[in-house]
Amino acid sequence: MAFKPANNIQDLQYFGEFGGVNPSISDSSTYTFLSAKTMFDTFEGNADGCYLYSRHSSPSNLYLGEALAAMEGTETANVSASGMGAITPVLLQLCGAGDHIVSSRTIYGGTYAFLKNFVPRLNIETSFVDITNLEAVEHAITENTKVLYCESVSNPLLEVADIKGLADIAKRHNLKLVVDNTFSPLSISPVILGADVVIHSLTKFINGSSDTVGGVVCGSQEFINALRNVNDGASMLLGSTMDSVRAASILKNLRTLHIRMQQHSHNAMYLAEKFEADGLKTVYPGLESHPSHNLFKSMMNEKYGFGGMLTIDVGSLDKANELMEMMQDKNLGYLAVSLGFYKTLFSAPGSSTSSEIPEDEQKEMGLSDGLIRFSIGLDADIERTYKTMRTCMETLNILDPREEIIKPSKLQNA
């Protein structure tokens, strides 16, 4: 039977302490114990259901974590104050001095910077590879490798990882496959395909309101317990904890994710097809021209489509900037980083979200100056949006003006 992530979220039942339809928000940083012995046991990790201190866990954070674990099909999950607050403790929990990571070379710029510039201080090395080339991935593994790291759909190039293929490699070499699924919530379920740990930046589609940053790690009970361990857990000790009020508001937004993802995907597919037909260099996993279109299809939960992210290449950074400013001016969206908002967001990744990646490496991975990354919004009338975008592109000579279509009635009159 197909995996049904949104059903799994809906099937959870929570009540507030007075029977409210939403769980009550836990507005406390610390919790009382009826006996000193239970407090001691809780520190030892042996008092199930007891709360100790909110950096460790809180009822609101556990509710959100449970819903996200249900969505990803994992035993449990741990929410964090940001996506980076999920990624960094996972990698530091799994790797120590002398260890090695094999990572996709096209990943979010912050993750790339962490692996390239930060973890070498702790004597952790990373090999960056073309994740679509499974041979290259396997070739990069050394006896010190502990983690295979990728994004299901990569930021910003929209490369698609073969999660089953990577999971086979990980199993053969006894590695953990860690997948950042931020770009494809609901559409792709990495754990069902063999991943060990799934991470999201909740900041994006899952919360969907661009009003907070947040993150989550979904995994086995054993791994999440290890992250939260008071003695050596990276999440507990690095302290990137989500606030309960935020956890409650993200949980409420999560409940409409399935509807939003369908609309994001529908609108992105519409625009991608139009842009491609117009002759623009367009990348969208839903297009047959995408090199991993069939792979995405083979992995996806069909209902949710190919996601809300697409890119076009308009030739130069100057043109990209002009177009983005004009589109903002015409109220087609915002010139802003991030993704998953109800409005379309656009940015030129080479000079923004991927600027941590040196220019020569950007070129090598195919990240060109004229690339614009779009997070397509929930527009009710995407045809109107397209028409106005097309006019902007014609005004800036990115596309040739379309010859006016002569209506048959006019021809008859002529």
What is the x/- site pattern for ligand PLP, positions 336-375, by CB under 6 A? -----------------x----------------------
Q: Which is nearer to ligand PLP, 180 or 276 (CB)?
A: 180
CB atoms within 10 A of CB 167: 20
Q: Which is nearer to ligand PLP, 300 or 398 (CB)?
A: 300
Per the document, the length of the chain is 414
Site for ligand PLP in 37-66 (CB under 6 A): none
Is 213 among the residues that bind ligand PLP (CB under 6 A)? yes
Q: Which is nearer to ligand PLP, 362 or 385 (CB)?
A: 362
Shortest-Cβ-distance residue relative to ligand PLP = 83
Site for ligand PLP in 137-166 (CB under 6 A): 151, 155
CB atoms within 10 A of CB 94: 22
Is 243 among the residues that bind ligand PLP (CB under 6 A)? no
Q: C-beta of 224: minimal distance to ligand PLP in Å?
A: 19
Is 83 among the residues that bind ligand PLP (CB under 6 A)? yes
Is 201 among the residues that bind ligand PLP (CB under 6 A)? yes
Is 110 among the residues that bind ligand PLP (CB under 6 A)? yes
Q: C-beta of 264: minimal distance to ligand PLP in Å?
A: 15
Judged by CB under 6 A, the stretch of 37-45, 77-85, 157-165, 276-284 that binds ligand PLP is: 77-85
Judged by CB under 6 A, the stretch of 49-57, 97-105, 175-183, 392-400 that binds ligand PLP is: 175-183
Q: Which is nearer to ligand PLP, 119 or 399 (CB)?
A: 119
Q: Which is nearer to ligand PLP, 209 or 331 (CB)?
A: 209
Is 244 among the residues that bind ligand PLP (CB under 6 A)? no
Query: Binding-site residue total for ligand PLP (CB under 6 A)?
Result: 15
Is 212 among the residues that bind ligand PLP (CB under 6 A)? no
Q: What type of residue sits at position 298?
A: S
Q: C-beta of 345: minimal distance to ligand PLP in Å?
A: 11
Is 184 among the residues that bind ligand PLP (CB under 6 A)? no
Judged by CB under 6 A, the stretch of 180-188, 242-250, 293-301, 376-384 that binds ligand PLP is: 180-188
Q: Within 13 Å of residue 329, how many CA atoms lie on the same side as its CB?
A: 8
Work out which of 84, 163, 227, 299 binds ligand PLP, going by CB under 6 A: 84
Q: Which is nearer to ligand PLP, 182 or 244 (CB)?
A: 182
Is 205 among the residues that bind ligand PLP (CB under 6 A)? no
Nearest to 256 by CA among 9, 63, 72, 81: 9
CB-CB contact of 234 with 89 (8 Å): yes
Q: 38-50 in b/e burial notation, b at 16+ Cβ within 10 A?
A: ebeebeeeebeee
Is 285 among the residues that bind ligand PLP (CB under 6 A)? no
Judged by CB under 6 A, the stretch of 80-88, 117-125, 186-194, 295-303 that binds ligand PLP is: 80-88
Which residues are near ligand PLP by CB under 6 A? 82-84, 108, 110, 151, 155, 180, 182-183, 201, 203, 213, 215, 353
